[in-house]
Structure 1
């Protein structure tokens, strides 16, 4: 029985991955029937598909919010069931960050270290994967680029507000690109922006030019 169930899950995962780029709602409908699954690879894919549906232009505001909170609930269950699965940690960090968009800056700042820790754990569990490095780099970039007013408020609200540097962000984006060149349409512009923040004008120009030439159009 267990062997048959495992085979069914493999087939389900294969089908979901085949449909991932083009059939957002179909994947979600396929996977949501398995939201009570104890298989973390099913759950993080369900979480990912819920996020994609939430970001579709024809998804209502009410459905977007519902799906965003749903994906966080699913992601926490996935981490509990798959503590050594890097994708579970990666997507839990993404989901926690997404929920912060609904709960305001105070909550987002309060959750910032937990978001970072999920991404860092994903890097630790699978250092050869580019996406956790990219996500950790983006966290470093956004924390460092935090507006002065928000940073000042964070110092008032929290004893130790989140901090990072553009150098840390650059190291993460570089590592992501070395692991898998052109793996995503999002890493090149972040490399360009980070070099620009550091005053590296030639490197920034090089990476931002690659944005126009890149064949990659696959976001997360």
Structure 2
């Protein structure tokens, strides 16, 4: 009887999930506190309001800032706990079933879809760049890439070739992330002429 091979512990993935979760949670907490401050002090500027272009107030007070009837950052307060817990569990040696990874990926796919919509609303409708929102964007995008490739490495999609390609692509996540950031920056510059504001 052949001895089974123990899979490698995804330490880098785990550390990234913890880091992204902490950063995302801090951004969500900061935005939530800013919203509470505005509700208690109507007309008060948020501490992250730096200019007409770079500010949080417009985004927080807009309909886009409360898509589900409550401030969007509250979603982040709950959702960002998940990658922290999963990352810590992976560091501790936990192994998850394929269905778990599929659901975890769906969560990040939903997060990325929401973020893409919010980016479009911020740039093309609200004409503002919210600092804490951008922090959220900056961790959701690479996290989606990391989770997608890790899920494929875990065999959620059958096929040795799929796992092999996903494993090779993992080292390209920083470049893919940079490319995504450049796309957002170009859109912001084309629509808002960001450089002229400085």
TM-score range, shorter chain: 0.3 to 0.5
Q: TM-score, normalized by length of structure 2?
A: 0.34
Question: TM-score normalized by structure 1?
Answer: 0.31
* Relative contact order higher in (CA < 8 Å, ≥ 6 apart): 2
